[in-house]
Amino acid sequence: MEEVAGAVSASQEGVALFQKGDWNNALQSFLKVRTEDNNELLELAYYTGLCYAKLKHFTEAQPYLVKYINEAQNSVRAYQCRMTLAYTYIMTKKARKAEQELASLINNGFASAQLYVTMAYAAWTRQSYGDAIEWYERALSADGDNLTALNGLGFILADTGKDVKRGLRFCKRAVEKKPENPVYLDSLGWAYYKDGKRIEAIKFLLKARDKDPDNPLIREHLKMVETAK
């Protein structure tokens, strides 16, 4: 009984830390818990998996998220875990597995702009640009103001040369909505470059770099544009 009581106490401490956004200390609290209670173990799997994902320890997050998805009855939490699991698969170069998780959600009636955007990102990581464009288009059909979809679709259309002018328009819309976002600024700068407007490209890429100086993709884009002839 003492062990179970201690487990509950540690779990409660971990949940409180998790709700405050203190992912690291919450994780340490959850990892200390020792219990054989199935409900407690399931709660631990849920929170531990999310903590690992928040801390970008994607591989470590996966078995906990899988356990919760396989055993939980709470559809809202299971949806959250499946979306998170899909993202961890993308970040660990398992795009196909991510797409399987997302397709399962779609088949079970959980389609949403957010889900379509994640599916598009998975397709983009495996360089299936046609699929990515299709999923971003579906996201915008569901939510015409989805900034991630506007930026993602705009970047791909410009970067691949499929429709640079249209891509530039989408990138502009994303920056108009969030002018301080470095990712959106980078996409707009790159779209301008693809459209042959080098001065405008450098202007926005410099803004992107100033906002996020450690971003390797922004630095790469800026270097390429600055040294272009």
Domain boundaries in the chain? 1-110, 119-229
State the Cα–Cα distance between residues 46 and 73, nearest whole angstrom: 12
CATH class of the structural domain 1-110:
mainly alpha
Nearest to 101, CA basis, from 141, 71, 70: 70
Residue range 69-98, pLDDT digits in tens? 999 877 789 999 999 999 999 999 999 999
Residue range 108-118, pLDDT digits in tens? 899 999 999 99
Nearest to 190, CA basis, from 175, 209, 173, 205: 205
Q: Do domains 1-110 and 119-229 have the same CATH topology?
A: yes
State the Cα–Cα distance between residues 187 and 194, nearest whole angstrom: 10
Check: pTM over 0.75? Answer yes or no.
yes
- The better pLDDT of the pair 26, 6 is held by 26
Determine whether domain 119-229 maps to CATH 1.20.1250.20: no
2, pLDDT greater than 80: no
